[in-house]
């Protein structure tokens, strides 16, 4: 059993959209992003609760532990916020481009090809309308190199 076998490669965006369909993929991404937002809000509250009484703590060690825990929670809040923004930006940017020019249907697409232009970190996807076979191109960018959504 190797490490590579225990960690199957994540499906690409094109594979995900082609497998479950654009609309379900979009719904799933929105749910996922708001899940991260919820986690961020929760850890923010925990961080604030931990900070409360840090300076009034009778034992020094307890105050230190509370301070460390609150920093960990704030770090999770920041991370969850970035995930939330990234997933939402990609999902919304793609959803604005999935209306077929020819038959005006929304989200009835299959992805034919997906490319990454390294110099601008721009992802291009060639997609086709499932109803009228019209073909067009979508594009979205991620700020970080090798970032996965
Ligand atoms: Zn069409």
Number of domains in the chain: 1
Question: Residue 47's closest CA among 78, 10, 84, 25?
Answer: 78
Distance from the alpha carbon of residue 95 to the mean position of ligand 1, in angstroms: 15
> Could you tell me if residue 111 is inside a domain?
yes
Residue 124 lies in a domain: yes
Is residue 76 within 8 A of residue 37, CB to CB? The reply is no
pLDDT digit string, tens, across residues 92-106: 999 999 999 999 999
Query: pLDDT by residue (tens digit) across 75-95?
Result: 999 999 999 999 999 999 999
Inside any domain, residue 5: no
Q: Phi, psi (5° rounding) for residue 71?
A: -65, -40
Give pLDDT, residue 57.
59
CA of 137 from ligand 1 middle (Å) equals: 13
- Provide the pLDDT for residue 116: 79
Residues 6+ apart with CB under 8 A from 40: 76, 77, 78, 80, 81, 84
Residue 134 CA to ligand 1 centre (angstroms):
5
Name 24's Cβ contacts closer than 8 Å, sequence gap at least 6. none
Q: 61 lies in a domain?
A: yes
Does 148 map to a domain?
Answer: no
Alpha carbon of 102 to ligand 1 centroid (Å): 5
Residue 137: which H helix or E strand, with range?
strand 135-141
* Cα 126 to ligand 1 centre (Å): 14
**43 in a structural domain:** yes
Residue 3 is predicted with a pLDDT of: 46
Query: Rounded to the nearest whole angstrom, what is the distance from the C-alpha of residue 106 to the centroid of ligand 1?
Result: 9
| Domain span at 98 | 12-141
Confirm whether pTM is higher than 0.85. Answer: no
């Amino acid at each position: 059993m190797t490490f590579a076998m225990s960690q199957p490669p994540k499906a690409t965006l094109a594979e995900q959209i082609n497998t479950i369909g654009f609309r379900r993929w979009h719904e799933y991404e929105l749910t996922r992003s708001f899940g991260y937002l919820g986690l961020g809000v929760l850890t923010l509250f925990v961080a604030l609760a931990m900070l409360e009484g840090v300076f009034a703590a009778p034992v020094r060690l307890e105050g230190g532990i509370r301070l460390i825990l609150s920093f960990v929670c704030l770090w999770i809040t920041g991370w969850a916020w970035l995930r939330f923004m990234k997933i939402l930006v990609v999902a919304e940017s793609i959803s604005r481009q999935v209306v077929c020019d020819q038959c005006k249907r929304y989200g009835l697409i299959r992805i034919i090809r997906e490319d990454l232009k390294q110099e601008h970190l721009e992802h291009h996807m060639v997609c086709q309308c499932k109803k009228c076979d019209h073909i067009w191109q979508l594009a979205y960018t991620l700020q970080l190199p090798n970032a996965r959504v």
